[in-house]
Amino acid sequence: MFAYILRRLLYAIPILIGVNLISFALFFVVNTPDDMARMQLGVKRVTPEAIEKWKAERGYDKPLFWNAGAAGVEKATETIFFDKSARMFIGEFGRAEDGRDIRREIRTRMGPSLAIALPTFILGLFAAISCALTLAFFRATRFDFWGVVLCVTMMSVSSLFYIIGGQYLVAKVWQWVPISGYSGGLDAWRFLILPVLIGVLAGLGSSTRWYRTLFLEEIAKDYVRTARAKGLSEALVMSRHVLRNALIPILTGVVVVIPSLFMGSLLIESFFGIPGLGSYTIDAILAQDFSVVRAMVFIGSVLYIIGLILTDISYTWVDPRIRFQ
Amino acid sequence: MNAMSDSPLLEVRELSVGFRGEGRKERILAAVERVSFSVAAGETLALLGESGCGKSAAALALMRLLPEAGVLIGGSVRFAGEELTQLPETEMRRHRGARMAMIFQEPATSLNPVLTVGQQIAEVLACHSPDLGRAARAERACELLAAVGIADPRRRIDEYPFQLSGGMKQRVMIAIALAGDPRLLIADEPTTALDVTVQAQILDLLSHLQEERGMGILLITHDLGVVARMAHRVGVMYAGEIVEEAPRERFFRAPQHPYTHKLFAALPRLERRGQALETIPGQVPPLAALGAFSGCRFAPRCPHAASRCREENPAWHQAAEGHRLRCHWVEGGKTLSPLTAPALRVTSLSVGEVKHPPLPQPLSPGGRGAGGEGEGSPPTEIPLSAPETLLALDGLRVHFPIHGGLLRRKIATVRAVDGVSFSLERGKTLALVGESGCGKTTVGKAILQLVAPSGGSVRLSGRELATMPPRQLRPLRRKMQMVFQDPFASLNPRLPVGEIVAEGIHALNPGQAEDVDAVLAALLEQVGLEREALRRYPHEFSGGQRQRIAIARALAVEPELLICDEPTSALDVSVQAQILNLLRELQQRLGLAYLFITHNFAVVEHLAHEVAVMYLGRIVEHGGVAEILNAPRHPYTQALLSAVLSPDDSLESGEPQRIRLPGETPSPARPPTGCHFHPRCPKADSLCREQYPAATIIGAGHSVCCHRC
Amino acid sequence: MNFQMVVLWSDICVALLLAGLIGLAVFSARRPLLRAAWGRVGASRPGMAAATILVFFALVGLLDSLHYRPRLENAGDGKAVYSVEVLSALDALASPLRERVEKTYSAPFAAHSYSRESIEIEDADGQKRQGRDFPRLTYGGAHLQTDADGKLSGRAADIAARVLLAFAAAAGVWVMAASAVVYALARRQARTLESPEIPWRQTLREIGQGKTVFAWNSVLAAFGVLLLVLMPLFFLCADYHVFGTDKVGTDVFYQVLKSIRTALVIGLVATLVTMPLALILGLLAGYFRGWIDDLVQYLYTTLNSIPGVLLIAASIMMMQVVIDTHPHWFSTAAERADLRLLALCFILGLTSWTSLCRLLRGETLKLRELEYIQAAQAFGVPSWRIMARHLAPNLMHIIVITLAMDFSSLVLAEAVLSYIGIGVDPLMISFGTMIDNARMELSRDPAVWWSLSAAFAFMLALVLSANLLADAVRDAFDPRLVR
């Protein structure tokens, strides 16, 4: 058990190295720093001097992998790869284009992101499981059929429309909540309630349909027949036997995203003007701020890998077959 | 038997069950049609039938547990005088689990994997005796586990199903069924998924519980042996109808319906060695075809069918007290030659001694493909210049590593095959017998080099295969082929039969491609299929036909050795006989050698020249078929043979001396020290616990690994 | 020649896809199991209704994939000079829509602009003076008369008349199509029954009651609905902006039509990358296991661990730098936008092959233990042949189901990505760029709702149909559901 988790942790190292290499290749090998400088500076201001200055300011004036001109260890450390990629392992992400420290920025923006993502995640999971269980309970009836049709329709609507439509109706036409913005403290709920509800609604269709299939798969199994043969009521069969077994794939399937909740939601945060990591990422993409994007790629991968490890742990926690082996 | 009062415990009248067909038209296919029977308290009624005859659907309908596509079309089910079919669902729940309980075929999937054994039993108690407290429920659950023969119930009660062996799971299922103190137990193929030695334990347990509690049991089975062991009365189902019903004595002594008769005749038995088995041509009609019948459903396969049989469904005919059947032919005054001769042949399977001399037995005419060979002659007498060793195994080992720990190093080894040696002569059959998990299939695959042997040698015609590089091995693959167990998994569903059969020709004889079609047609003819089959796809064929295709595929490269891995275990009795006959016939014609891997001694009796018995990766006894079957020496062989149920048992006076093995086969990853068999062996002593016995030669070609023999 | 054929890279991909589709159809027709599975798809009522709608979208997309550059008129010296603008067959057909550009926003069916402008107004006394008012549109509703006090007259009547005419035309077309179907079916019926009489009535009744095996009733119903929607649009779009115009005055209906191809290309071309990659790696990993399996698993875990949007963002940003620094590669703006579209497809394919690969690997692991694989191994059949003959065909259903399911999520993803600014080229018309351009319009007063609504409606129709068809495909191909 312990050895298993330790092995998963060790496995994370080569994966992180892989992620690092991929993003390094994307950011520095496909295009040279000169290309980036030219793009950032714009066509008009491009002079060789300006490019050199731009590169020197950001530390892009070193060789990519191997600094033949330096001495000793510095042959490896005085390089872009070491500066920009290897240092991320110790949490040094450098500065954004606007000169701010990325690490500090991330730390302050995590809170608002989590304030939206966590309630959305929990409410969404709860709502989807309840809806799916209801549909499974009424399986093969008209209610079930139209429920599935509704789910398919809901998942066919782009999340952009949920956000734009919801914001227009609730905030602009009915004026129940502010259109956008954020404030710390207890007052935050006024700003949070609409984005959270929209987030829940946008994901409801597909997850309900997916969980319903899982429930139906469980219902078809032999042990459910045994449970019925015991004389249990259908509600008890569903809650005690079907739900319990179907929760194994559901829970272990969602555990992987829990750490990534820190990353926030790109769309919702940018539409509602929430100063979280999601909107930070979007702003960086729009401003073509490579340092920030690179940092977010790294953090995202780390969180995903933590999610994978949590998944393994949760398996051993909810499934006795794995717990005892 | 308890008081057979006026109203029996369970009375079923004209019960019909159907399934909704595919597609938009709400077509209901009847799987069970107007079936009537009754079960009294303390009585066991066995419903006997081949797969797809509707026996399980009928049982589920009694409990109103049909799957969602199932429909109760009509009829009445009265339980202790109360009509069940009209009860509201909430009322019905009070019966389920309490007054009538059910156990199922697959104990592995029938228990909830995430609840402990105790929780699953306590659930029934909470449902049907709500006044019991939590502690009382746990106490009662322990008692129940003890009652079904589970040692150390206090520990087991907190375990999960996956921690239990197959036999223990079925015991837990029985404990769950008993928790509501039912008056009727419905057992749907309760031992089909279990090994023979465990099957014997479970059946003993069931009859013991019945005696103790006076329950009625409705036993659903396809196995005549189980019927003989358990039933008081027998109903035979065919294609959704009950065709014959009789008390057990009468059923085994004088079955009247042609179908029943044929079922008995199709069973392979020792005294029919050297002769073809009787077969029933064709197969059980599929569900979708049942609607088209207006006459007797057995008519298309019946040797006695007349035009009336095809037009008019026969009514019940009373043959004797309690014995009735539906057959125009019998009704018309004809009787079948009494089956007593073959049925009365009392088995020599009981240990060590032959109780009754084998009776000479007249073979009913009509056996398919039977030549006029002399009786009792061994299956093949190919004139060979000298017995020539085709295959020789010496100390063959196949070990699978188990990885674990931090760096996934090898932490243990599964010794699936651990030093197996035998040799097989050209044109002969060696049966490799053992229970599941003993490594017999791995032996077959290791010979074909489908799994790499970890040690030892495999010689085919004197050439060592185990160390041969793949390129050199390819031409030798022509000489040996395999027929697999599951006819549904052994043919690629996406390829037409022609391409499947031609696979070997293309792979091994790339030059000889001119007249493949003619070769293929000849191959199909050889296994009894039409030429048209070439262009059709596997899903259009039944299990038996698929197995014929698989045999044709193997024969396409003209092998000398055919490894048959349980080729009939997935087939119905009537179809099994066809395949066994075919294999025998091919051996005679082509001089094939068979390595016949099986768990079924009845098949061994019919086909083999030599028998090797395997336990936990090793051969424990090896000898000629007569020696092994008549005078087994190893306690395991004795127990295996004693656990084999034969229909003939029912006619023996008194209980035969049975050897019951405790426990189940241990895991090959952790074999017991000393003799692997000692924990279950009735004769084991301290030497057995310490040292694995060497092989002792005890007769011509008969050797056994046992300290105590 | 007054035009020059232009073959964009994405056109080649579309052609490849079309060829692949035809190939699949031919292959399926020869294999009874596949034919039966497609037969089950054909029997699915919602699936076939969705397919009918999708055929319309596909036709629009195909028309939009035939590109050319028109010849410029003023090339005096006889040397052909072609416009830098790349047009498609759809553009040619819809040139009235494309060319009639207003100044700025206008509402659907409007004859006046959305915003006031200073215009000359003729007073009652004949004097002209400057004033601010909503000017008449140059094209939208230009044929309508204004009455004395400057009000439009007869617009409602005009629209109603056109709609009625359109409905009549729709009914005519539908009846013709329906009779063609009935005729063909009845003829076939008569041929199989070898009866001299053609069973018209019976065929008609069977179709009406949904008793035909193929879902003809839902195909005809969907076709009818399609006609009822499209015919009025067709009859009205000549003189009105049926969905209004956007900020720079382009007709929204035209934009919606052009978006269809972008969505289809994104949804389908990505599979050209996904499928071979996932199939080959999944097969290798599942069949050989060992270090190959470890390597493939490492590869997809690593790719998976990078958040998808960020990987796409990073790749697109880098791609954009490449495109920007090499302007000489492209002779027209369309080619540049096209390359970016393809790059997006490629990247979406690279990020989405992992889930399919994992499915295929798992299934291969299961299949390789099956006895027919072992039978093939017993004959010494080489590994590549086992994979090609025995494994790949048995993985087909997973591929078909996944690709059908992926289509709609890719179309949805395009919208989001374009919105974030990492989707298609901003100059390329797509649902995403439409939404992106319209993002602030709802906060105007009065709200500009039409652009967004039109994109919403067409996207919903496309994605919903795709989802319904994917469901039908899954139900028909999934062996667990079939048996």
pLDDT digits (tens, 9 = 90+) for B468-516: 898 889 889 989 999 999 888 999 988 999 999 999 888 887 556 567 8
Q: For residues C189-206, give the mean pLDDT.
A: 83
Q: For residues B398-425, give the mean pLDDT.
A: 86
Asked if A127 has any chain B CB less than 8 Å from its own CB, the reply is no
What average pLDDT does chain C have? Answer: 88
Is there a single domain that holds both residue C384 and residue C358? yes
Reading the block at residue C51, the tokens are: 């397919």
CA distances (Å), B373 to each of A41, B276, B439, B578, C59, in order? 99, 9, 36, 18, 73
Q: Are A147 and A135 in contact (CB under 8 A)?
A: yes
Structural domain containing residue C84? 3-99
State how far residue C413 is from chain A, nearest Cα, in angstroms: 8
Is there a single domain that holds both residue C181 and residue C329? no
Q: How confident is the model at residue C78 (pLDDT cuts 50, 70, 90)?
A: low
Q: Do C313 and A168 touch (CB under 8 A)?
A: no
Q: What pLDDT does B341 receive? A: 40
What average pLDDT does chain B have? Answer: 85
Which residues of chain B are within 8 Å of residue C375 when distances are taken between CB atoms?
482, 484, 490, 503, 550, 553-554
Helix (H, G, I), strand (E, B) or coil at B38: strand
In tens, the pLDDT along B509-562 reads: 755 656 788 889 999 998 988 888 888 889 888 888 999 999 999 999 999 999
Residue B338 predicted with pLDDT over 70: no
Asked if B396 has any chain A CB less than 8 Å from its own CB, the reply is no
Which residues of chain C are within 8 Å of residue B491 when distances are taken between CB atoms?
372
Neighbouring chains of B at 3+ CB pairs under 8 Å are A, C
Which residues of chain C are within 8 Å of residue B25 when distances are taken between CB atoms?
211
Burial category of C20 from C-beta neighbours within 10 Å (exposed 0-12, middle 13-18, buried 19 and up) = middle
Residue C13 in domain: yes
Is there a single domain that holds both residue C444 and residue C327? yes
Q: What pLDDT does C124 receive? A: 66
Q: What is the ipTM of this complex?
A: 0.88
What average pLDDT does chain A have? Answer: 87
Q: How confident is the model at residue B350 (pLDDT cuts 50, 70, 90)?
A: very low
pLDDT above 90 covers what percent of chain B? Answer: 50
Q: What pLDDT does B381 receive? A: 43
- How far is residue B687's CA from residue B188's CA, in Å, rounded to a whole number? 43
Indicate whether this model's pTM tops 0.80.
Answer: yes
**Domain boundary residue among C236, C266, C289?**
C236
Residue A238 predicted with pLDDT over 50: yes
Is there a single domain that holds both residue C472 and residue C400? yes
Is there a single domain that holds both residue C231 and residue C288? no
Could you tell me which residues come within 8 angstroms of residue A109 by beta carbon, excluding any fewer than 6 positions away? Answer: A264, A275, A276, A277, A280
Would you tell me the crossing angle of helices C450-477 and A142-155 to the nearest 10 degrees?
130
- How far is residue C342's CA from residue C269's CA, in Å, rounded to a whole number? 8
Residue whose entry in the numeric block shows the structure tokens 């066995």: B46
Residue C270, domain CATH: 1.10.3720.10
Among candidates B445, B474, B491 on the partner chain, residue whose Cβ is nearest the Cβ of C380: B474
Is there a single domain that holds both residue C231 and residue C263? no
Residue C10 in domain: yes
Q: Do B94 and A226 touch (CB under 8 A)?
A: no
| Among C435, C442, C407, CA closest to C420 | C435
Q: How confident is the model at residue B365 (pLDDT cuts 50, 70, 90)?
A: very low
- How far is residue C454's CA from residue A161's CA, in Å, rounded to a whole number? 12
Asked if A287 has any chain C CB less than 8 Å from its own CB, the reply is no
Residue C293 in domain: yes
Q: Which residues 358-377 of C are in CB contact (within 8 Å) with B?
A: 370-372, 374-377
Is there a single domain that holds both residue C281 and residue C418? yes
In tens, the pLDDT along C19-37 reads: 999 998 998 888 888 888 8
Q: What pLDDT does B514 receive? A: 67
Which residues of chain B are within 8 Å of residue A140 when distances are taken between CB atoms?
68
Residue C415 in domain: yes
Q: How confident is the model at residue B370 (pLDDT cuts 50, 70, 90)?
A: very low
Q: For residues C269-285, give the mean pLDDT.
A: 92
Taken in order of first residue, the domains within chain B and their CATH numbers are: 2-231 (3.40.50.300), 253-355 (no CATH), 381-479+559-705 (3.40.50.300)
Neighbouring chains of A at 3+ CB pairs under 8 Å are B, C
**Domain boundary residue among C56, C76, C99?**
C99
Q: What pLDDT does B374 receive? A: 36
B368 compared with B31, residue with greater pLDDT: B31
Q: For residues C366-383, give the mean pLDDT.
A: 92
Q: Which residues 189-218 of C are in CB contact (within 8 Å) with B?
A: 210-211
Which residues of chain C are within 8 Å of residue A304 when distances are taken between CB atoms?
304-307
Which residues of chain B are within 8 Å of residue A230 when distances are taken between CB atoms?
96-97, 101, 123-124, 127, 176, 179-180
Residue C33 in domain: yes
Q: What pLDDT does C426 receive? A: 85
B427 compared with B363, residue with greater pLDDT: B427
Could you tell me which residues come within 8 angstroms of residue C140 by beta carbon, excluding any fewer than 6 positions away? Answer: C100, C102, C106, C109, C110, C111, C239, C240, C241, C245
Q: What pLDDT does C144 receive? A: 81
Residue B647 predicted with pLDDT over 80: no
Residue B151 predicted with pLDDT over 90: no
Q: Do A267 and C468 touch (CB under 8 A)?
A: no
Residue C380 predicted with pLDDT over 60: yes
CA distances (Å), B270 to each of B263, B361, B378, B572, B655, in order? 16, 11, 11, 19, 21
Is there a single domain that holds both residue C415 and residue C355? yes
Which residues of chain B are within 8 Å of residue A236 when distances are taken between CB atoms?
127
Asked if C420 has any chain A CB less than 8 Å from its own CB, the reply is yes
Which residues of chain C are within 8 Å of residue B23 when distances are taken between CB atoms?
43
Is there a single domain that holds both residue C277 and residue C419? yes
Q: Are C109 and C242 in contact (CB under 8 A)?
A: yes
Residue C161 in domain: yes
Q: Are B581 and B277 in contact (CB under 8 A)?
A: yes
For chain C, what is the domain count?
3
Q: For residues B656-685, give the mean pLDDT.
A: 86
Is there a single domain that holds both residue C450 and residue C332? yes
Is there a single domain that holds both residue C168 and residue C86? no
Is there a single domain that holds both residue C285 and residue C167? no
Residue C405 in domain: yes
**Four-point Cα dihedral C138, C140, C144, C147, nearest 10:** -70
Chain A residue with minimum CA distance to B408: A7
**Domain boundary residue among C203, C236, C269?**
C236
Helix (H, G, I), strand (E, B) or coil at C180: helix
Residue C244 in domain: no
Instruction: Identify the residue among C317, C350, C401, C431 best suited for mutation to test binding to A, counting A beta carbons within 10 A and taking the highest.
Output: C317
State how far residue A19 is from chain C, nearest Cα, in angstroms: 6
